[in-house]
A = this chain, B = another copy of it.
Amino acid sequence: MTFELLSVGTELLLGSIVNTNAQYLSRRLSELGFNVYYTTVVGDNPDRLKSALEIAAGRADAVITTGGLGPTVDDLTKETIAEYCGLKCVMDEESKERIINRFHKGNSYMPENNFKQAEMPEGCIILKNENGTAPGAIVEGEDCIFIMLPGPPSEMKPMFDNSVIPYLEKYSDGVIRSKSLLVFGYGESAVDEMLGDLMNNSKNPTVAPYAKTGQVELRITAKADTVQEAKEMLKPMEEKIISILGDKVYGRGIDNSMENVVVQLLRDKKLKVTCAESCTGGMVAEKITSVPGASECFDCGYVTYSNEQKTELLGVSAETLKSVGAVSEETALEMSKGALEKSGADIAVSITGIAGPEGGTDEKPVGLVYISVCTEDFHKAYKFNLTGERGMVRERAALYALDLIRRCALGIIDKEAEYIW
């Protein structure tokens, strides 16, 4: 069974709001094993809405609309679908009652036009709205099922979950389960090359890459009759991918950011970390502390932007700064050492570099970054030439620093290697 989503609302076409409804429904439908082939946005214009409906009904088994169920003359979704299916709209007394009660409960004045929301296509299945006035509706047309949901996400989501999913279950053949592997240190094209066959030739489960800033998410998706079966299909594929990409796979699960993985790891191993930041200016500390429970593994961080403060706060020698400059291997090494000693942490990382857009020279161009790590028995700095604008350089430098912390905590750093990614 294939679906099309049709979001109705001029505010979407003006870019006043972002279409989170389409994302929510897409995700839910894909979890249920249904295919969404198209999503369309159309404004509150009767002709264009009708045309979009015709196209959608012509190529999908079911169309889910969001928006256009409200009380104003602009709200036309129900009327247009009823017309398309040759149905009249008639007052539904129960829905009318609910609308009146809702206004009474809120002690607010009810404009008459609200009753328009209770006029439903004859013979439709009415979907109660627990969080607003406009009811939803399902019309089973000749070749296509139309499911109409209200526009506000706070009304649409519970209506979909509570009323539409139970309705759709009879159409679902089997279940779909996905698992995400998070990759850092290989770009999308490298992952593509390394996994090429696996991605191109696997039909069930499938493997698909999604690029994020400096990272790649690999989604494995299996279709089966039962949840158990689907999960068992994911496992061998997951192991196969990990055997190819090795420790570049840093995490599992779609919401598992690098900082989540790092904080969890440090907490498990009862390790403390600190960071001494120049060009990232607090970003590493900010990322670590964004994770609830970070206080178990993080006591303090140092943002040393000026040379003087590198000396003052971290004990970087003025001699070093004078002879080789702030953006150098030596300075990075002294920063991480100073931070480790001063903080009493188990792992210290330091970052110093040129984020741009100004400040680059031929010898030290924008994007040149040194990242150092210091523990009781390991002390090294790595050199990077990062591309992209200022924000990107900082973001990627922070990710490398976090990955360095992860590798240290796991004990998987090749200590002799000049570069480990």
Interface residues of A in 289-309 (CB under 8 A from B): 289-290, 292-295, 298-306, 308-309
Decide: B301 and A73 in contact? CB cutoff 8 A. no
Q: Which B residues are in CB contact (< 8 Å) with A17?
A: 23, 210
CA A42 to CA B298, docked complex, whole Å: 44
Q: Would you call A69 an interface residue if the criterion is a C-beta within 8 Å of the partner chain's C-beta atoms?
A: no
Decide: B13 and A36 in contact? CB cutoff 8 A. yes
CA A113 to CA B192, docked complex, whole Å: 9
Proximity string of chain A (271-290) to chain B, C-beta cutoff 8 Å, 1 when within and 0 when not = 00000010111111110111
CA A154 to CA B286, docked complex, whole Å: 21
Decide: B39 and A13 in contact? CB cutoff 8 A. yes
Q: Give min CB distance, A386 to chain B, whole Å.
A: 7
CA A99 to CA B187, docked complex, whole Å: 14
Q: Which B residues are in CB contact (< 8 Å) with A27?
A: 14-16
Q: Which B residues are in CB contact (< 8 Å) with A387?
A: 102, 105-106
Tell which of B52, B188, B283, B384 touches A282, judged by Cβ atoms closer than 8 Å.
B283
CA A283 to CA B282, docked complex, whole Å: 7
Q: Would you call A175 an interface residue if the criterion is a C-beta within 8 Å of the partner chain's C-beta atoms?
A: no
Decide: A309 and B189 in contact? CB cutoff 8 A. no
Proximity string of chain A (202-229) to chain B, C-beta cutoff 8 Å, 1 when within and 0 when not = 0000001111010001010000000000
CA A52 to CA B390, docked complex, whole Å: 37
Q: A286-B281, A390-B292 are in contact. Are A14 and B37 (CB under 8 A)?
A: no
CA A84 to CA B113, docked complex, whole Å: 47
Decide: B11 and A210 in contact? CB cutoff 8 A. yes
Q: Which B residues are in CB contact (< 8 Å) with A385?
A: 105-107
Residue of B nearest to A289 (CB): B281
Q: A19-B18, A41-B39, A387-B105 are in contact. Are A113 and B193 (CB under 8 A)?
A: yes
Q: Would you call A177 an interface residue if the criterion is a C-beta within 8 Å of the partner chain's C-beta atoms?
A: no
Decide: A15 and B24 in contact? CB cutoff 8 A. yes
Residue of B nearest to A10 (CB): B208
Q: Would you call A389 an interface residue if the criterion is a C-beta within 8 Å of the partner chain's C-beta atoms?
A: yes
Q: Would you call A30 an interface residue if the criterion is a C-beta within 8 Å of the partner chain's C-beta atoms?
A: yes
Q: Would you call A315 an interface residue if the criterion is a C-beta within 8 Å of the partner chain's C-beta atoms?
A: no
Decide: A38 and B48 in contact? CB cutoff 8 A. yes
Q: Which B residues are in CB contact (< 8 Å) with A289?
A: 279-282, 303, 305
Decide: B52 and A106 in contact? CB cutoff 8 A. no
Q: Would you call A179 an interface residue if the criterion is a C-beta within 8 Å of the partner chain's C-beta atoms?
A: no
Q: A17-B23, A18-B23 are in contact. Are A282 and B305 (CB under 8 A)?
A: no
Q: Which B residues are in CB contact (< 8 Å) with A343?
A: 309
Decide: B71 and A192 in contact? CB cutoff 8 A. yes
CA A282 to CA B273, docked complex, whole Å: 15
Decide: B300 and A304 in contact? CB cutoff 8 A. yes
Q: Which B residues are in CB contact (< 8 Å) with A292?
A: 356-358, 390
Residue of B nearest to A40 (CB): B40
Residue of B nearest to A43 (CB): B37
Decide: B283 and A286 in contact? CB cutoff 8 A. yes
Q: Would you call A172 an interface residue if the criterion is a C-beta within 8 Å of the partner chain's C-beta atoms?
A: no
Q: List 29 A-B contacts (CB under 8 A).
A: A10-B208, A11-B210, A13-B30, A15-B30, A16-B217, A18-B22, A18-B23, A19-B22, A38-B48, A38-B52, A55-B55, A70-B188, A71-B189, A72-B209, A106-B386, A110-B189, A111-B189, A113-B192, A131-B389, A154-B213, A279-B289, A281-B286, A282-B285, A282-B289, A286-B286, A292-B356, A298-B305, A299-B306, A299-B309
Residues of A within 8 A of B (CB): 10-20, 22-30, 36-43, 45, 48, 51-52, 55, 59, 70-73, 102, 105-111, 113-114, 130-131, 152, 154, 187-190, 192-193, 200, 208-211, 213, 217, 219, 254, 277, 279-286, 288-290, 292-295, 298-306, 308-309, 312-313, 343, 356-358, 367, 384-392, 394
The 3 closest A-B pairs by CB, nearest first: A281-B289, A15-B27, A282-B282
